[in-house]
A and B are shown apart, each in its own frame.
Chain A
Amino acid sequence: MSFLNNVITGISLGSIYAIIALGYTMVYGIAKMLNFAHGDVIMVGAYVCFFATGSFGLHPVAGVLLAMVVCTILGMVIEGLAYKPLRQAPSLAVLITAIGVSWFLQNSAQLLWGAAPKVFTPVVSGGLSIFGGQLNISYVTILTVASCLVIMAVLSAFIGKGKMGKAMRACSEDKGAAQLMGINVNSTISMTFAIGSALAAIAGVLMCSAYPTLMPTTGSLPGIKAFTAAVFGGIGSVPGAFVGGLLLGIIEIFAKAYISTDLSDAIVFLALIIVLLVKPSGLLGKYVPEKV
C-alpha cells in the first residue's frame, strides 16, 4: 500500500512538473529558445489568481481566466521588449536575456507584493479516498493530470492543423524558408509566447493549489525541474514533456522513499544523465540527423 501511495505522490508531483514543462517545451519547440523566465511567469500567474480570488473575491475560475489574460499580456510584452530585438542574435544572447528577465520578474514581485510567503487558496480542495481511506488522491492531482491531457490534445490539434499551427511548424523547421513562403515569422513567434504564457498561468494556479506557499522565488526551482523534465522527455515534444514530467516526479519520490532523502536530487539528476546517455535526444525526442 505504501508503494501505491508513493506512486500517487509521485504522479501528483510529476503532473505539476509536466504542466510547467508543456509550456517550456512548446516555446522551445517553435522559437528554439530556452525561456528561463517561464518559471517566473508562473509565479506571476499564481499571484494574480491569489489576489483575484483573495482580495477581490472573484470565483476561482474567473481568477484563473484573469491570470491567463495577465500572463498572456506579460508574455507578449516581455517577448516584444526583450526577445524580439534579438531575433537575429545568437541563441545564447537570448538565453542570457531570459535570465535577466527572470531576475527582473522575481525582484519586481518582491517589491510589489513583499517577501513574506502567502498561502494560496486551492482552486479545488479535498480528495478521493479509496480502499477505505488507505489511498488518497487529491482532486488537484486529478485536475492537473486532466488539464495536462486536455492541453496536450488542444496543443497537438492546434499545431497539427489550422493555419497558425502550420506556420508554427514551418518556423520551427526553418525560419528563413518559412519567411520566403510568406509566413510572418515574427508574429508567429509572438503568438507562441502568448500561448506559452497562458499555459504558465494555468500551471501556476495548479502548482500553488497543490503546494500552496507563494513567494517571489516560488517559480524558480520548479522551473529548473520542469526544464529537466522537458529535456528528459525530449525537448520540443509535447507528449514527451508530459511523460518526462510524470517520470521525473515518480523517480524523485521513489528516490526519497526507497534510497535516501539526503541524496534525492542527486539521484534524480543521475537518472536523467543515464537516460540521456542511452537515448541522447530524450525519451520521445526526434533524432535530427546533422547535415554538413
Chain B
Amino acid sequence: MKKFIAMLMAAAMMMAMVACGNTASNNGGNNGSNNSGSADEGGSTDGTVVIRIGGIGPLTGGNAVYGVATQLGAQVAVDEINALGGPIQFEYNFQDDTGVAETAVSAYNTLKDWEADIIYGCTTTAPCVTVAAETFADRYFQLTPSASSTDVTEGKDNVFQMCFTDPNQGVTAADYISANSLGTKIGVIYNNGDAYSTGIAEAFIAHAAEIGLEVVATETYPSDSNTDYNVQLNACKDAGADLVFLPIYYTPASLILAQASAMGYAPTFFGADGMDGILTMEGFDASLAEGLMLMTPFNADATDDATVNFVESYKKLSGDVIPNQFAADGYDCIYAIYAALQNIDGLADMDHEALCEALIAAFTAEDFSVDGLTGSGMSWSTNGEISKDPVVVVIQDGAYVTM
C-alpha cells in the first residue's frame, strides 16, 4: 500500500510536470520560429506556406553520434532556407528514438500529434523499417538520410532514401576493387548484429563470387560495442588477404585500424560510406588511416562554396564538430524536399496525405534532379532508391583524395 501511495506521488509529480511541459512546448518550434500558432498548412496572409518537418533519429545511446549528425545537418539547411524568406518556410522538430524501433514509433506519433507534414528519418535502419510501415499506412512522405536497407523502401511508395542502398554499395565496392585490381585475396570483417553492415557484406560477397573476386576470409563481430578485433584480423592475415573490406561504421573501424597496425598487418583497407567521419574523431591518429579507401559521397575538406559554407554553419551549431556524410545527407534531404515542394502547386491547401502524393509525384518526375553536397544530378526511382555517382576516395596525409 505504501508503495502504491509512492507511485501515486510519482504520478502526481508527473502530472505537474506535464502541465509545465505543455506551457514550455507552446513556446514554439525548434528553430525559434515564432508562428507555431498559424503553422498548420494554411497560408498566412503574406502567402508564405509553413511546412512542418518531423525528424527521427537516435539522440541518446550508442548510436547517438549518427543521430545528432543527421539532426544538425538538416537544421543547417532549415535555417538557411528560412533565412531566405521565401514563400516556403520550414518548422523542424527532431525526436529521439534511442535507436530502438518501439521508441521510434512513439517518436513518430509524437510528431503526428505535432501535426508534422513530412517525416525526415530515421537515421538507423531497424527503426526506419518499422516507422516506414507506419508512414506508408498513414500516408506521410518520408525521406531518410541514412537508413540504407532495401527493406526500408520495399513495397512503400512514400519512402525515399538519400543514401545508397546496402546491396548497391556492396556491388559497387566489389566492381571497383575488381576493375582497379586493388586486391587479389579479399577479407571481409563486418558487424553481423547490424542490418546495414550485414546488408553490404552479403551483397559484396555474392557479387564478388559472380565477378571472380576471391574472398578468402569472412569474419564477423556481434555489435559495435565490441572492442577486440585481433582474432578477425589474424584470420584475414592467416588467409593471406591483401585487401580487407570493412562495411562498418567508423567507430569500430578506428579500433580495427589501430589493432592491425599494432600487429604489423598492413593490407589495403576499403570501407563503405559509414567509414566517413573517421578523420573527424577527436584524438584520432590520422597516420593509421593512411591509404584507407572508402566510398563516401561527401568530403568535408572540399573547397567548393557549398561545402565550405555548410561546414562552417555546422561547426557553429555543433560546437566545432566537423560534419560527416550523415550530416551532409541530412542537409541534402531538406534541400531535396525544398526543391520538390517548389514544383508543387497549391501547397497551401494540402494536408499531409495530399502533400505525400504530390511529393511522390515530384520526386519521381522525369526531370526532377537535385544538386547537393553528396552528389550532383541526384534523382530517385519509383521504388525510392537514389541514383547518384559513388565516389571512392583514398586517405593521403590525413585528407581525402578523390580517386
Contacts and interface: CB of A to CB of B under 8 A. Distances in A.
A and B co-occur in one complex: yes
Interface in A83-118: 107, 110, 114-118
B290 to A, nearest CB: 15
A192 B251 CA distance: 35
B231 A110 contact: no
Interface string A197-223: 000000000000011110111001110
A154 interface: no
Contacts of A5: 230, 234
Nearest to B263: A136
B238 interface: yes
Contact of A119 (B222, B223, B254, B321): B254
A138 interface: yes
Nearest to B253: A213
Given A6-B231, A118-B283, A136-B262, A262 B251 contact: no
Nearest to B280: A116
A104 to B, nearest CB: 12
B231 A222 contact: no
A156 interface: no
B231 A256 contact: yes
Contacts of B225: 217, 220-221
B219 A261 contact: yes
A210 B258 CA distance: 10
Contact of B60 (A54, A107, A133, A262): A107
A193 interface: no
A115 B64 contact: yes
Interface string B301-312: 000000000000
B249 to A, nearest CB: 10
Contact of B251 (A6, A110, A117, A120): A117
Contacts of B319: 114
Contact of A118 (B68, B219, B234, B281): B281
B82 interface: no
B222 A265 contact: yes
A121 interface: yes
Nearest to A16: B227
Interface in B315-329: 319, 321
B284 A119 contact: yes
B282 A253 contact: no
B64 A213 contact: no
The 6 closest A-B pairs by CB, nearest first: A115-B64, A119-B283, A211-B227, A9-B230, A256-B231, A119-B284
Interface of B: 59-62, 64-65, 67-68, 192, 219-223, 225, 227-228, 230-232, 234-235, 238, 251-252, 254-255, 258, 262-264, 280-285, 319, 321
26 contacts: A6-B234, A9-B230, A110-B60, A116-B65, A117-B65, A117-B254, A118-B283, A119-B281, A119-B284, A120-B283, A133-B264, A136-B262, A138-B262, A213-B255, A216-B64, A252-B228, A253-B228, A253-B230, A256-B232, A257-B234, A261-B192, A261-B221, A261-B232, A262-B220, A262-B222, A265-B222
